[in-house]
Amino acid sequence: MQNTDSRPAVILASTSRYRQQLLHKLRLPFTVFAPNCDETPLAGEPPEELVTRLALSKARSVHTAKQNDKALIIGSDQCATLNGQIIGKPGTHERAIEQLKTASGHTVRFLTGLCLFDTRDQSWQRSVVVTDVVFRHLSDHEIDRYLRTEQPYDCAGSFKSEDHGITLFDRIQGDDPNALIGLPLIELYRMLRACGLSFASPTD
């Protein structure tokens, strides 16, 4: 379906409720469409290249499906690393315990890849926002109590920084606290403005 408005449509290439909640902060209308791309890492692919490649792939897959020639499509992908190794989503209580025990007293680096794909000229902007999370030394009791309270089994690193997970840390080092949740709004705002999107008022 073609967009007849002079302003390009904004499409979030993600069904993540966390990213949708973050994007609402910018107070601009957007629609959500599920991307369709293989998220398997390539052999020997560094984490930075993985998240930027997948962010672009997600955005382009939505363009292929919707065929909207006047849209700005937001793609984002995130991975967590500890000592250079990628940490996935735990999925189970037992794996979450293992992740937090391993992270205890260490720094977990989160890399959030962001892409804004402009279908009007097939151009894109990409970046990676890095956030370092320094964990306290956690007791087994603290880990088990936290996981049973919040059950963050769909979150890389086994925590939700926007909720009680913040109590697990000594500090967070990064340029945008939203990036840790999955969508770096400061960088996205810059990209949208570079594409000519006005933020003069919430209803613009």
Determine whether 176 is an active site residue.
Answer: no
Question: Is 201 among the domain residues?
Answer: no
Question: Is 199 among the domain residues?
Answer: no
User: Which one-letter amino acid corresponds to residue 130?
Assistant: V
Question: Is 4 among the domain residues?
Answer: no
In this predicted structure, what is the pLDDT of residue 156?
A: 85
Question: Is 200 among the domain residues?
Answer: no
Question: Is 31 among the domain residues?
Answer: yes
pTM for this prediction: 0.88
**Domain tally, the chain:** 1
- Catalytic residue from among 38, 69, 77, 121: 77
Two tokens, residue 199: 């933020």
Whole domain around residue 162: which residue ranges?
9-194
Tokens 């000592």: give the residue.
83
Question: Is 168 among the domain residues?
Answer: yes
Relative to beta strand 71-82, strand 85-87 is antiparallel
pLDDT tens series, the chain, 204 aa: 444 457 899 999 999 998 999 999 999 999 999 999 998 889 999 999 999 999 999 999 999 998 888 999 999 999 999 988 899 889 999 999 999 999 999 999 999 999 999 999 999 999 999 999 999 999 999 999 999 999 999 888 898 887 788 899 999 999 999 999 999 999 999 999 999 987 654 444
Residue 60: which CATH number?
3.90.950.10
Question: Is 104 among the domain residues?
Answer: yes
Question: Is 204 among the domain residues?
Answer: no
Rounded to whole angstroms, the Cα distance separating 126 from 76 reads: 10
Exposure class string for 80-116: b at 16+ Cβ within 10 A, else e: bbbeeebbebbeeeeebbebbebbbeebbbbbbbbbb
